[in-house]
Structure 1
Amino acid sequence: YEELYEGLLQFLLNPINLNKASPEELKSLYVLSPGQIHQFFSYRAKFGNLISIYELQAIPEFDLETIYKILPFVVIEEKAYHKGSLWSRLGETKDAYFIFRHRRVWETRRGFTAPDTLSNGNLTSRYMGDPNGLYGRFRMQQSKDFSLGLTFDKDPGEEFIWDPQTNRFGFNFLSYHFTIYNRGNWKALSIGDYQLQFGQGLVFGAGFAPGKGAETITTVRRSSIGIRPYTAAMEFGFFRGFATTRKIGPLELTLMASQAPRDANLQLTQDSLEQEQAIITSLQRSGLHRTPTEINYKNRAREKNLGANVQYNSLDKSLQFGVNTLFTEFSHPFIRNSRVYNQFEFYGSKNSVHSFYFSYNFQNHFFFGEKAVSSSGGTGTLAGMMSSLHPKLAFSLLYRDYARNFHTFYGNAFGEGSRPINEKGVYIGLNFKPNQAINWSFYYDRFEFPWLRFRAYAPSWGTEWFSRFTFSPSRKTLIFLQLRQESKDRNYSEYPGFQSPYILGRGIKTNFSFNLDQKLDNRWSIKSRVNSSAFRFEGVPSRGFAISQDLNADFQKWRFSSRIVLFDTDDFDNRQYIYERNVLWLFSIPALHGQGMRYYFLGQYKLTRQLTLWARFARTIFTDREVIGSGLQQIRGNTFTESTLQLRYQFNR
């Protein structure tokens, strides 16, 4: 969600010029339907550039609710850029800030206790650092001009130490970038950490990828937004080096090169000449360096990437197609511990993946797709459409087929699984909006996995459907009812008479939600929500529910949010997810399971024009256990308490 927030924030700070906008830019807002986008460009072609923002009311299919949604992100005139030297613009930009954040769990986890002594006299493993989590971000940017940033992070349990031998330099993770935009035909040049997004995410799939959810139409496709500075604190999924995009007539050429360290588990083996060589048995994606073992994984491998993109945009902006290519090389061969389920995964030290993608806008219909192949011969295919069948009815259709030996390290395409591999599926989405007060959204997805996967040691398949009915009689009231059901195969290890992980059973999970948002006046608002679920596996049922109540206040200079939740679930399969408010750029969606209560308080106070403070306190109290978690994360007791404190200083305010 940080990617979504960052993307919308960029549009908020640097609004889209409606008189120069392309369909791709408007689609990337995830607000407008294909029919609305078609009507906008038809209006602009017929009447010319918009004279006033109020003209949006004259465009067919643009109701007031839609206009209110996009107003913060659009303008009809652009600011003047590149005035003065780059150095002076860096010092004068209004969008420059520094954020510092502290997080902590106040109960003592087992990893922070004194180690035990084993029978052989050795001590058990413990965390090397303190329980404080520290995060900082410095950012200076100006619309379509430049972006400069530095991010640093220390996770709880990590040691704050300067130790070059273990690649630890105070904070355990540092990220940095400098990007400039629009220098003649050079659209972008980025040095440091960055991501790329082109096509439908089979090769370059950075950025926010919503996938399946309550928005059933606009989120099935990806936007080709090109080079994006990397500002998150996750320690994987980004490039480190340089990338540039140059415009050559209707073509745009992007080149990139990257060499980044990767956390890896290295082991020594003997080759055919009985010489020792190091191999990678697994890559560590947690980004945690708390114990001697985790520290030993840090930056053990290097990953090199060379890639390119060539993209064509037609003069009328209705047609776009392009080619992606990416070559990846690891410093050591990647050789996994051989198992039946992973025999088609990537092995070796080199991989390449190439793709062709397109998007075409024809009246109220938008078609898109991408076809990719990796060096293993495995292919990935994705094709879809979004269509306004009627001003009140939108439709989406998407097909995907990812081979079991399709290897892409930076792909993030639409799918049921977390990676585009070993999956086939068809998705259908509908959205019906008869008037401003009523909205109904629905999707159905059928998927299959041709080879083994996690918790399913045989080829399997499943279905999922979702329906949400929303009623908003006024701008102060929002009510929705939501029903979702997923049916999927998983291992059935309790087969009568013997144990076998290769026998599959069918699990069916049904979720129900009722939500009420009510704005009491200009300052106070409430939110009430009821979640329930039922899970049935091979005839054995279980259930769960959560009830939450929010109270929020907005007094401009200070804001306050609070919630209390009661939950009761029979097992982890019935865990309840309810999104929680948090400090700026931090998101919380805890999985509530077992029995208990959770509450939180969040306050925001603007101390001065430059300085803003956030403070958050959250606690979960379980009534069905005296031990929380396991391993070094274990807490003895039935409470889990966490706090977050964040300061933001804005320069030139």
Structure 2
Amino acid sequence: MKKTLLRRLISLAGLLFITNIAYSQNQNDTIYQYGDEIQQLFENSEGETNKNYDDEIIELHERFAEPLNINTVTKEQLQQFPFLSDLQIEHILSYFYLHGEMKTIYELQLVEDMDIQTIRYLSAFFKALPVVHNKSFPTLEELYKKGRSEVFSRVDIPFYRSAGYVDKYRGTPYYHSLRYAYRYHDNVFAGFSAEKDMGETFFASPNKKGYDSYSIYFLVKDAGPLKTLAVGDYRLSFGQGLVVSNDFLMGKTAYITTLNRRGNNIYKHSSTDEQHFFRGVAASIALNKNLLLSTFFSYRLLDGTVNEGKLTSIHSSGLHRSQKEIDDRNSFGLLFMGSNINYSADKWQVGTTGIYYHFNHPYAPTQRKYNRYALQGSSFYNIGIDYSYRFKKFSIVGEEAIGKHGVATTNRIRYNLSQDYNIILFHRYYAHNYWAYFAHTLSESSTVQNENGWFLAIDAKPWHKLSCFAAIDLISFPWCRYRVSKPSRAIDGIFRCSYYPRKTDQMDFFYRYKHKERDVSNTKGADIRPTYQHSFRYKYSYLPTPAVRLSTVADYRLFRQQGFSTEKGYQLTGSVAYSLRDKPLQCILQGSYFNVDSYDTKVYIAERSVLYNSYIPSFQGTGIHLSFRFQYKLNTRWLFITHCGHTRYYNQESIGTGADKIDSSFRTDMKIQVKYRI
């Protein structure tokens, strides 16, 4: 009893301490800060992340809207948060075993290896509530009365007209989407989304039923031995991604904790992304407390070009504006099925995944030298074995996979020197002829193929006000690549650090060096020379008052190919965010100036747009970009958001090329979103 009382008193002292250092930071501040870090990681990735992260943003907001009970959290739920390390997850679960329930979320301060920033993040997604024992799966009455329903509607209005609307695009220049989402705690999810892209028809041929794209999902979790059941559209992630994964990856610029892919999961697909999901049914069943069996089936019609019965190209844009795009819509079918079985113990885990997929037209892409070993044919398979093991401060994770052709392997070892120092060594080998259409993991290109690399990274916090990340990646490519007409090598070096001089200030610095080889333009691969690229970024954020947030970002890039002049690019961005805790109003004003010589030195400018929309455009040329975001919460049910953007170029009289060409040096657009909670 005395020990319990002492622990609670220490916890109360910790609460007062952490509340003080958080400079009155509320949950909205925390989620915005975490969202800013995601955006910054994307900007630093220089386009290596080729998948949008709308589904991840939706998951983030749902967790924020309905926090989990920290006292009933499972290992699988904790693994969904990328800022938690495996060691921190184990220490959190051990704390419950030794000390029982937490009385406040800030009791996490007493958990070994937990730092202040991680506790801040967790406080936005968890709360400490008493444990309800013998809790059963909800009844239909509970699902009806206690479920949470929301409706979202979004309209994008361009105040310009591109060349495609003259005689090519068949629809109107407006974007519109409608989304419904239902949720009962962490047990039942259901919803649908509908989307019409700019230039697509609406309630007119070929979309006489309204929208161009529809998506429906239904997901049940933790219904006795049935751990997950998905019907409709869903996403998958197993092992380290060498066989199948729809996960979003931040690339090599992320922190060490985010480099470890964890869990074997079936997720709902609730965004308007038309590419990265499966359609059918998937289920996970616990055979016992350690053994989990997952099986899945999907059949989808996809876009592509079919000539003489052969599929020559696959389209992933999801756009159906012109007659050509409409003709290529749903032109081939993709059958997909497979299973995963996973055994998980305290400190180790092993699993195997097998999939089979079939195109109803043989895939025969146009042959080039660089894609000689690319996937081709009708029927394919992949089988992988993944594992993880942790011993004290060491953890080892890996996966070995084979396909119809080729093999792939990825293995990484991580060592936690202390709470403030971590090191990871990661080796990957993807054979030049490895065929894996659904693989998605850390790589230099968009496909898991033709790559051999050693990646070393160190994460350090030498001072409570300073955190650093440094990494180097040594890569070789056994076969030709796009714009590289011979086997080649590359070096990728990364350094980033964050400094917190005061509770209201934060400084971030990022540097990246890339050395590669590339064909000289217009030589058809006869002349191949090395390229050198340097990227610098500095960001300063300041909170003069709890209601105002100021930030400044500066980017500078250099690119040079041997024998040619150096190309440069830079941008300067300033933003002001205004938000009152006791008022339902938020405003963000942002302005940028950019001066970019070429595509190789293009810059990325992140800005907060409407909800559940990943929007980080790139720019080249010389000009300015201005944006304004206004958010007003009328009451507990209604939320209104408006985002306006304006870009003006000083060195050109038109924007874009081909059907997207705008005969003007400036463009303005507006996004309007309404959210209603039923």
Q: For residues 79 and 194 of structure 1, do their structure 2 counterparts lie closer, same or farther at Cα, with a shift above 3 Å needed?
A: farther
Written as runs of structure 1 = structure 2, the 5 A alignment for 1:228-243 is: 228-243=267-282
Q: For residues 247 and 11 of structure 1, do their structure 2 counterparts lie closer, same or farther at Cα, with a shift above 3 Å needed?
A: same
1:55 match: secondary structure: helix
Alpha-carbon distance in 2 for matches of 1:545, 1:292? 39
- How far the C-alpha of 1:21 sits from its partner, in A, is 4.4
2:196 to 142, 146, 154: 154
* 8 Å CA contact retained: 1:3, 1:207: no
Q: For residues 200 and 281 of structure 1, do their structure 2 counterparts lie closer, same or farther at Cα, with a shift above 3 Å needed?
A: same
Residue of structure 1 equivalent to 2:621: 594
Residue of structure 2 equivalent to 1:109: 162
* 8 Å CA contact retained: 2:176, 2:196: yes
Residue of structure 2 equivalent to 1:253: 293
Q: For residues 54 and 129 of structure 1, do their structure 2 counterparts lie closer, same or farther at Cα, with a shift above 3 Å needed?
A: closer
* 8 Å CA contact retained: 1:167, 1:298: no
Q: For residues 426 and 14 of structure 1, do their structure 2 counterparts lie closer, same or farther at Cα, with a shift above 3 Å needed?
A: farther
Is residue 263 of structure 1 aligned with residue 303 of structure 2?
A: yes
Q: For residues 95 and 474 of structure 1, do their structure 2 counterparts lie closer, same or farther at Cα, with a shift above 3 Å needed?
A: farther
Residue of structure 2 equivalent to 1:346: 375
2:218 to 159, 178, 202: 178
So what's the TM-score if we normalise by structure 2?
A: 0.88
Residue of structure 2 equivalent to 1:320: 349
- How far the C-alpha of 1:49 sits from its partner, in A, is 5.1
Residue of structure 2 equivalent to 1:290: 321
Is residue 59 of structure 1 aligned with residue 106 of structure 2?
A: no
Alpha-carbon distance in 1 for matches of 2:337, 2:419? 45
1:536 to 548, 560, 577: 560
Higher mean alpha-carbon deviation, 292-301 vs 505-514, is at 505-514
Give the alignment's Cα RMSD to 1 decimal.
Answer: 2.0
- How far the C-alpha of 1:14 sits from its partner, in A, is 5.2
1:2 to 54, 57, 62: 54
Q: For residues 104 and 507 of structure 1, do their structure 2 counterparts lie closer, same or farther at Cα, with a shift above 3 Å needed?
A: farther
Query: Aligned letter for 2:238?
Result: F
Alpha-carbon distance in 1 for matches of 2:456, 2:307? 46
Alpha-carbon distance in 2 for matches of 1:414, 1:59? 31
Residue of structure 1 equivalent to 2:466: 438
Q: For residues 408 and 131 of structure 1, do their structure 2 counterparts lie closer, same or farther at Cα, with a shift above 3 Å needed?
A: same
- How far the C-alpha of 1:142 sits from its partner, in A, is 1.7
* 8 Å CA contact retained: 2:303, 2:316: yes
* 8 Å CA contact retained: 1:216, 1:396: no
> Unpaired segments of 5 or more residues in structure 1?
116-125, 269-277
Alpha-carbon distance in 2 for matches of 1:202, 1:232? 24
1:208 to 244, 248, 251: 248
- How far the C-alpha of 1:48 sits from its partner, in A, is 5.0
1:550 to 569, 572, 575: 575
Residue of structure 2 equivalent to 1:272: none
Residue of structure 2 equivalent to 1:123: none
1:92 match: secondary structure: helix
Query: Aligned letter for 1:563?
Result: Q
Alpha-carbon distance in 1 for matches of 2:397, 2:560? 37
> Could you say which structure has the higher helix fraction?
2
- How far the C-alpha of 1:20 sits from its partner, in A, is 5.1
1:398 to 417, 423, 426: 426
Is residue 485 of structure 1 aligned with residue 485 of structure 2?
A: no
- How far the C-alpha of 1:17 sits from its partner, in A, is 4.8
Residue of structure 1 equivalent to 2:122: 70
> Unpaired segments of 5 or more residues in structure 2?
1-52
Q: For residues 490 and 230 of structure 1, do their structure 2 counterparts lie closer, same or farther at Cα, with a shift above 3 Å needed?
A: same
1:404 match: secondary structure: coil
Alpha-carbon distance in 2 for matches of 1:91, 1:48? 33
Q: For residues 186 and 267 of structure 1, do their structure 2 counterparts lie closer, same or farther at Cα, with a shift above 3 Å needed?
A: same
Residue of structure 2 equivalent to 1:141: 183
2:252 match: secondary structure: coil
Aligned residue-pair number: 620
Alpha-carbon distance in 1 for matches of 2:353, 2:562? 45
Higher mean alpha-carbon deviation, 606-615 vs 31-40, is at 31-40
Query: Aligned letter for 1:293?
Result: K
Alpha-carbon distance in 2 for matches of 1:84, 1:21? 18
Q: For residues 502 and 450 of structure 1, do their structure 2 counterparts lie closer, same or farther at Cα, with a shift above 3 Å needed?
A: farther
- How far the C-alpha of 1:394 sits from its partner, in A, is 1.0
Residue of structure 2 equivalent to 1:275: none
Query: Aligned letter for 1:595?
Result: T
1:191 match: secondary structure: strand
* 8 Å CA contact retained: 2:147, 2:185: no
* 8 Å CA contact retained: 1:264, 1:282: yes
Higher mean alpha-carbon deviation, 476-485 vs 59-68, is at 59-68
1:416 match: secondary structure: coil
- How far the C-alpha of 1:144 sits from its partner, in A, is 2.8
Alpha-carbon distance in 2 for matches of 1:633, 1:645? 22
1:198 to 211, 232, 238: 238
Query: Aligned letter for 1:631?
Result: G
Is residue 301 of structure 1 aligned with residue 332 of structure 2?
A: yes
Written as runs of structure 1 = structure 2, the 5 A alignment for 1:458-469 is: 458-469=486-497
Residue of structure 2 equivalent to 1:127: 169
Is residue 96 of structure 1 aligned with residue 149 of structure 2?
A: yes
Higher mean alpha-carbon deviation, 65-74 vs 21-30, is at 21-30
Q: For residues 21 and 89 of structure 1, do their structure 2 counterparts lie closer, same or farther at Cα, with a shift above 3 Å needed?
A: closer
- How far the C-alpha of 1:132 sits from its partner, in A, is 0.2
2:514 match: secondary structure: strand
- How far the C-alpha of 1:50 sits from its partner, in A, is 4.2
* 8 Å CA contact retained: 2:194, 2:211: yes
Query: Aligned letter for 2:339?
Result: A
Identity %: 26
Alpha-carbon distance in 2 for matches of 1:95, 1:211? 34
Residue of structure 2 equivalent to 1:279: 310
Is residue 503 of structure 1 aligned with residue 527 of structure 2?
A: yes
Q: For residues 16 and 311 of structure 1, do their structure 2 counterparts lie closer, same or farther at Cα, with a shift above 3 Å needed?
A: farther
1:356 match: secondary structure: strand
Is residue 451 of structure 1 aligned with residue 479 of structure 2?
A: yes
Alpha-carbon distance in 2 for matches of 1:519, 1:438? 18
Q: For residues 533 and 390 of structure 1, do their structure 2 counterparts lie closer, same or farther at Cα, with a shift above 3 Å needed?
A: same
Residue of structure 2 equivalent to 1:118: none
Higher mean alpha-carbon deviation, 18-27 vs 303-312, is at 18-27
